[in-house]
Chain A
């Protein structure tokens, strides 16, 4: 009885030692990985900081103003150019199409209202 117990206890001791060794090895591995990741994170953060500083420099109002003065024909905004949505008039209702059969035979129906220079697809140029 005691012998069996002794053997069991010794086996448990060996198993415990093996387990502890495994844990230690793995934790060292993980610690190295963590340190490596931290280092990489730091490098990435530094790179991001440099890029942000570069971006801020490129976006600086002083630089953009200089470029706009040299290359663009924009003028300063006047207060009369700003409006409110409340001040916009509603779209006028379209006029009803004329009911003249002879006129519609002579000339094709006018294209629907275009408000811009881009014609409706299929309309004659």
Chain B
């Protein structure tokens, strides 16, 4: 008997004690009815208390957590074009900003009288095409834009006309307060505020386009983009380039100021340019940015790279000499010097007399493969990519033999973008670091982190010495500015017309390093087809046009860049070689 009683309660194993109590309470057949009723009511009470408890706790939660994005209501008249972040220069001056402008839209389906509407609109906006407008408004479509971005005064007048079916939407218009002063660098936008050139296009690629697609970039909440550009330096550079272009009747003038320690491009101008507020002229092929999208044979400024190669190889020093008595003959070609000295020249003399023969012999002494590898190391053979979407591929000879090495040594066989050449020369002067140029603000520490050591620091000091020597006794004499210890290298390249070198069409450039003993900035001034004038005694080489322009730019710009003038400094050998304890 007892065994049977024992077995009964343990019929369902695995069931907890609680579950058994509840089951017997609610459904048990042998439990008192009142107790069962009370148990059921209790269960219902527990359920309701739980639900209200959840509601109460959610209320408390909502009260405590600060309000998120749930409360943002988009205004019905809100902008359709993306709000873009402001672009400012390194001092904080505005280069590009958004301004809200009303845009006129029409709903042709709701228009009552198309003729009246067209007449009144063309009265307020005189340059609206009446025929075209009439067609569009009677087309029966749902939506049309008669005119985007009208002035607030025009908006008021059209509003007073009281036409049904005409309304306004505020749009963001991109405004460039400086006009053509910053054009290629900043680029421009189309009417929908999408960047189509320059830094504006780069901004889009940085995720602004994605935000616009998601509809999240309609309000001005983004931080301004800081450029490395200095507006005052840019203005001075562009002004002097425009004056030089007029004075020497050049086809084009371009200039670039690079900070050699950070790779920041402090100013970049290429005349002729355009006004980004009216970008219609931007597509003109003569208005390209000659510094990044044009490739040119840079001429003798390239010798700086060749000589740096020689000095860095360890096989040559500043006292090494090369024979420049006879023109260098290669098959039917003869390489001649412009200021032919007809004697054996040491490396400093090769640099200051800008001897093609000497440089060619130097390159040949190191060999074709060494030369090619060196130029590749210095980034002269590959396309240079910066934040600007436009870039140019250098024109490299397909078959590179000794003749190519000879001509490339003095800057004639290889066409590079001028920005590339500037990057290479900057690496020879800043202690040997090849830093990719940038248009955005960058600190020296960041630059050093992404730099490559391509030359020994001693070679860099020797190059500074050579640049300064060139300004003291060499072809860069005309670029000297009182009080600024500059160094420089001129370059005059004959342009290739119809496959042959033209003696009359030249491309002159000048690279100036400021100051030469502790370089901070490298300035490039480039003139395309300058003509000789009376003051230049009939010469159109770089020492007569590009170098004096560079000196004017430096005189204007050095105080802005915090470079104090220093007078009565010792000569190059003392100031640079001896003070840094570098042997010849």
Contact = CB atoms under 8 A, between A and B. Distances in A.
A76 B559 CA distance: 12
A79 interface: yes
A38 B100 contact: no
Contacts of A34: 71
A91 B100 CA distance: 58
Interface in B536-579: 555-556, 558-559, 564-565
Interface residues of B, number: 32
B451 interface: no
A82 B559 CA distance: 9
A60 interface: yes
Interface in A57-75: 57, 59-62, 65
A39 interface: yes
Contacts of B93: 56, 59
B182 to A, nearest CB: 10
Interface string A69-113: 000000011111010100000000000000000000000000000
Interface stretch (B200-208, B478-486, B499-507): B478-486
Interface in A21-71: 31, 34-35, 38-39, 42, 45-46, 49-50, 52-53, 56-57, 59-62, 65
Interface stretch (B105-113, B172-180, B244-252, B400-408): B172-180
A80 B231 contact: no
B79 to A, nearest CB: 10
B97 interface: yes
Contact of B177 (A31, A45, A57, A80): A57
What secondary structure prevails in chain A residues at the interface with B? helix
Nearest to B173: A53
B42 to A, nearest CB: 15
B482 A80 contact: yes
B73 A84 contact: no
Contact of B99 (A42, A49, A82): A49
A61 B220 contact: no
Contacts of B75: 39, 42
Size bracket, chain A contacts: 20 to 34
A50 B100 contact: yes
B377 interface: no
A49 B220 contact: yes
Contacts, number: 72
B100 A62 contact: no
B235 interface: yes
Interface string B461-483: 00000000000000000000111
B392 interface: no
B178 A31 contact: no
Contacts of A56: 93-94, 97, 177-178
Nearest to A23: B59
B181 interface: yes
B99 A50 contact: yes
Contacts of B98: 49
Contacts of A50: 99-100
B179 A60 contact: yes
Contact of A82 (B72, B94, B565): B565
A61 B564 contact: no
B94 A52 contact: yes
B220 A45 contact: yes
A62 B178 contact: yes
B564 A82 contact: yes
A39 B75 CA distance: 8
A85 to B, nearest CB: 11
Interface in B174-194: 175, 177-181
B239 interface: yes
A31 B73 CA distance: 10
Contacts of B175: 53, 57
B229 to A, nearest CB: 12
Interface string B86-99: 00000001100111
Contact of B94 (A53, A62, A79): A53
A101 B179 CA distance: 73
A45 B219 CA distance: 10
B171 to A, nearest CB: 12
Contacts of A60: 177-179, 181
A62 B71 CA distance: 45
Nearest to A47: B100
Contacts of A39: 75
A34 B555 CA distance: 56
B232 interface: yes
Choose among B175, B180, B239, B564 the residue with the greatest number of A CB atoms under 10 Å from its CB: B175
Contact of B235 (A46, A62, A76, A78): A62
Nearest to B232: A61
A50 B170 CA distance: 14
Given A53-B177, A59-B93, A60-B179, A79 B235 contact: no
Top-3 shortest CB links A-B: A79-B483, A56-B177, A61-B235
Interface of B: 71-73, 75, 93-94, 97-100, 175, 177-181, 219-220, 231-232, 235, 239, 481-484, 555-556, 558-559, 564-565
27 contacts: A38-B72, A39-B75, A42-B75, A49-B100, A49-B220, A50-B99, A52-B94, A52-B97, A56-B93, A56-B177, A57-B175, A57-B177, A59-B177, A60-B178, A61-B178, A61-B181, A61-B232, A62-B178, A62-B235, A65-B239, A76-B555, A76-B556, A77-B556, A77-B559, A79-B482, A79-B483, A79-B559
Given A56-B94, A57-B175, A65-B239, 7 more contacts: A49-B99, A49-B100, A53-B175, A56-B177, A57-B177, A77-B556, A78-B482
